[in-house]
Structure 1
């Protein structure tokens, strides 16, 4: 018989701006994270061919995308529309997003305050990507090598469609790491 896992608030393993709650060492099926999303952080539209994800907003606001764009997809996924007319959702606490394998998806914090969300990834192991990314970012001086980032993402079933960015004011700069740490 295997026991479950119970964690008090704030527990888990911190990886950049994400706290791993349950990962591959506990489950073969999924990994669970609590994520802090800094104002202006845009994960960029991307696709996983194998993974499915669930997102649940706990605090703040996030723009959410989980559909294929109609026609030619431009560089700003927040302007995308689906063939059925779906548009990007401004999610608030309690908003939920399910992303099946093969579905383009993204999130962006449009507010001036950090947002916090719970997200689950199936199959488990997404924490391996996050740890490798953290190591790559820590080893770089200045902007990390984009080719290394692309290779890392490809090994972890992440096909980036639009850039991962961090906006500050009106300036939009391309980043290859995660959002700045909340707290």
Structure 2
């Protein structure tokens, strides 16, 4: 028999950089079906529109406001997904605490924090462990400040993340 996992608030393995904070709650070491993360999304962070061919994802906003979308747009433009529109009037939405987004494999999606305060979300990815390794490597890249687009693009390709619009994040300068 295998024991389960019970974590207190704030529990789990944390990866922290100036650009991002990710707490691994459940990983492929414990689950065959999914990885669960708590992610702090800093102001100005835009994950960029992208697609996974193998992964499904669920995002649940815990605190703050994010702009979210998960649909095939009428036209994929290479720069600004926030202006995308889909059939039946679909468009990105402002999502506050309690909002949930499900992303099936093959569905374009993105999120951004347009506000002045960090947002927190719970993020489930299946199957594990690709997103675990991806987060570890991404935070190494973002830990140096502004996103290095070539490094991010290579990393994303390695982990079945087909980028449509760029990841954007510039570390905020302190006076």
- The TM-score bracket by the shorter chain reads 0.7 to 0.9
Match of 1:101 among 83, 105, 111: 105
Q: Is the 8 A contact 2:12 2:25 kept in 1?
A: yes
Is the CA contact 1:54–1:97 (under 8 Å) kept in the aligned structure 2?
yes
Q: What is aligned with 1:11?
A: 11
Q: Are 1:74 and 1:80, in contact at CA under 8 Å, matched by a contact in 2? A: no
2:36 matches 1:64 = no
Q: Scaled by the length of structure 2, what TM-score is found? A: 0.87
The Cα of 1:26 is off from its aligned counterpart by 0.9
> Which residue in 1 is equivalent to 2:93?
89
Q: What displacement does 1:133 show? A: 2.3
Q: For 1:68 and 1:90, locate their aligned partners in 2 and report how far apart those are by CA, in whole Å.
A: 18
Runs of at least 5 residues in structure 1 that lack an aligned partner in the other structure: 167-174
Per-residue CA deviation, residues 116-153 of structure 1 (Å, 9 max, x unaligned), is 11010000111111112233455x6x767544332221
Q: Residues 110 and 135 from structure 1, CA distance in 2 versus in 1: closer, same or farther, beyond 3 angstroms? A: closer
Instruction: Say if 1:111 and 1:134 are closer, same or farther in 2 by CA, change over 3 A.
Output: closer
For the residues of structure 2 that align with 1:40 and 1:137, how far apart are their CA atoms? 13
> Following the alignment from structure 1 to structure 2, what is the Cα–Cα distance between the partners of residues 122 and 157?
12
Residue 39 of structure 1, CA deviation: 1.2
* Secondary structure of 1:4 counterpart: coil
Give me the whole-angstrom Cα distance separating, in 2, the residues matched to 1:103 and 1:20.
24
Partner of 2:35: 31
For residue 158 of structure 1, the aligned residue among 141, 148, 161 is 161
Aligned residue for 2:56? 52
Counterpart for residue 134 of structure 1: 139
TM-score (norm 1): 0.84
Partner of 1:120: 124
CA distance in 2, matches of 1:24, 1:127: 8
Q: CA deviation at 1:29?
A: 1.2
Contact 2:67 2:113 in 1 (8 A): yes
Query: How many residues in Structure 1 have an aligned counterpart in Structure 2?
Result: 167
Is the 1:31–1:121 contact (alpha carbons within 8 Å) kept by the matching residues of 2?
A: yes
